[in-house]
Structures are given as C-alpha cells and as structure tokens.
Amino acid sequence: MVSQTLHADLQPQLSQDLIKIMEQRLSAIEHRSTYLQGVLNQPEASPAEYARANRELRKLHSSTDLINELRTKQKEIMGLKLLMAESEEEKEMQVMVNEELDQAIEEERRLQNLLLKSLLPKDDADERDCILEVRAGTGGEEASLFAMDIFKMYERYSLKKGWKFEVVDLTESDVRGYKEASAAISGARVYGKLKFESGIHRVQRVPVTEKSGRIHTSAVSVAILPQADEVDVQLRNEDLRIDTYRSGGSGGQHANTTNSAVRITHIPTGMTVSIQDERSQHMNKAKALKVLCAKLYEIERCRLQKYRSKLRSAQIGSGDRSERIRTYNFPQGRVTDHRVGITHHSINDVMVGENLDLFIDALLLQQEMDAIASFSSSH
C-alpha cells in the first residue's frame, strides 16, 4: 500500500508554451546541423574545422534523428486532418481516418517527450559506477545495527538489479553491527539510479538491547559517490603518502601478523582513506585508491556545480549528507521519504531490497519535472 502513486510510464501532454519553447530549440538544432553538414561538404575546410564539425554533428545525431521522425509524423497529421475535412460526408472514411489521427497524435506526443528529455541538462556522472558509504550516526550500538541493515538492503537491491556489489571495507561495532561500511557498485547507470540515496536515514524501533520495550530513534548517514579513476582526478605519486600497518582484528584467528592494512593520505587536501578488509596489502591499496579517487572527483564535481550555480533542486533535496531524507518506522511498518512525500507500508519488503524503486523512481521523476520547469523558465 502506497500513500502516493506516480505514473512515470504515461505520455504526459506537454503544454503549448513548453512546445513553443522546445520548437525554438529544435529549429536551432536543425539550422546548426545544416550548417555543420555544409562545413563537411566544403573541400576547402581545414582538417581541424572538419574534425570539429564532425564531432559536433555526432553529438547532435540522436536529436536530429528524432526531429526528422517528429517532422514526418507532423506532416502525416496535417495530411490526415486535410483528409478529414475533405471526407465530411463519408462516415466510414471519417471513423478510419480519425483512428489513424489519434494514433499519429499519440506518436507525436511520444516523440516530443523524448526530444524534451534529450534537451534537458545531463549529469555525465549518471553513467558511472558508484561508491556506497554507510556510517552509524546518533543512537550508539543500535545505529550500528541499522547501518548494517541499510548496507545489506543496498546489497540485496544491487543483486536484484544484476549489478556487481563489492565490499570495500567494514568496521564492526561491539554488537556486530557496522560503525562504517563501504562498497563499490558496478552496472548500467548505477550512480544515476542511486544518487538521491545520499543523506540521513532515520530509524524508529525497539532495539534488541532494550529490555523495557521503549522505541529508540537512531540515524545512519549514506553517501553515494560516482566512481572515478586516476585519469579523472590526475593523482600524482608525489601527492600521496602511503602507510601500511597491521589490521586490527578481534584477536585469535583474526589477528593479522603482516602489515596488510593500507592508509593513503592525499597531501594537498589532507584526505585519508584506510582499508584493512583484504589479507593482501596490494588489494587494500587498490581499494583505497578507488575510494580516494571517488572522493576527490566528488569534491571537484561539487565545486563545478556550485560554480555553475545549478545545484540539485530544493524539492528533491541538496543531496547533502546532513539532510534527513527517509524514516524507517518499524512499529508502524512504514517507510516515508520526506522529499517526495511517499510512504510505503511494507517495511520488510524495503529492507530486503524490494520496492526501493518506488522511492528511487519518484525522485528521478521529480528531478525530471524540476528540470522541465527550469527549462521553461530559463527560455
């Protein structure tokens, strides 16, 4: 049972104002495409001009294909309307043409929606894999148990999606919960799907350690970072200090007698990443570099976003890790996302990775609607 339902699969009818704005953009793309095609056909074009025009034309290619489809469909609609006007006396012909016209208008609407999406600003990071970081916040040991539950929720969700979920590091608490946990998640458009999961996830439930049955409120912070590599952030060896040490275990068979744990410090920023998950120093170093690259890439992305002054809409939330985004109320069996006002009344389904798409898809739809509103107001 859901308190609010959003139908993302219906073809919304765009307002005439929006269509007018979009038509101006489409017309500009058509003119630009014609001009670039002209440059490619000029024998006197220099190799640099040719390469530049060819590159820009390739970027416009998907839009121009859709525009051509739309123009063909619009001509078909004009022809059908003309046929309707000419066959007023023929009822059977009118019914047949009217059916074709309805189908053609629906197809025109579909193409307009696709084109609008292609014109909206895109975040290049959406296509990337991501690093998931979960940290226990307020609430002591109960927060660490919930951190473990949330981490496993994303693991199950990832497996259902067919993504690869690789644990990067785990720091256990005294009650076998997670103080901190991180994972590398790989698959198609992983960051684009999970990016709005960043923030504070609050839980209300009776802890297993509670004798009197009182409900406690605890919190866990989740961070989703787009994965990057050393090319993206240009890591230089002289900027890194790499220390090795013995990883801390719980003694006995867990005790590590070799210096396999790795701490990497990025000297310019002072950022440190420590990994002690693997027995191999080499593996821990590779994981630490992966996390460090993602963190540095995110710092640079945020700097650029602020510079462009186009941060995420306040309706969705800033993605700020200090923002409370979702509440998991176990006694009432509900999960509420505070940004889109959606409540799902089967908490167990969500915790095993089911129905998480309900929130994720609503947030992505909200982002799209905000982008459309922004597109309209800026033209």
pLDDT at 377 over 70: no
What pLDDT digit, counting tens, does each position of 112-126 carry? 888 887 887 777 788
What pLDDT digit, counting tens, does each position of 311-327 carry? 333 334 444 446 789 99
**332: CB partners within 8 A, 6+ apart:** none
Do residues 78 and 51 make contact, with C-beta atoms less than 8 angstroms apart?
no
Q: By mean pLDDT, which of 102-106, 128-132, 139-143, 258-262 is the weakest?
A: 258-262
- On whether the pTM is more than 0.85, the answer is no
Helices (H), the chain: 16-40, 47-86, 91-119, 140-161, 190-194, 230-233, 281-308, 347-351, 356-377
- According to the model, what pLDDT value does residue 248 have? 64
> What's the rounded Cα separation, in Å, for the pair 43 and 241?
55
pLDDT at 64 over 70: yes
Average pLDDT over residues 58-62: 85
Average pLDDT over residues 328-342: 93
- According to the model, what pLDDT value does residue 48 have? 87
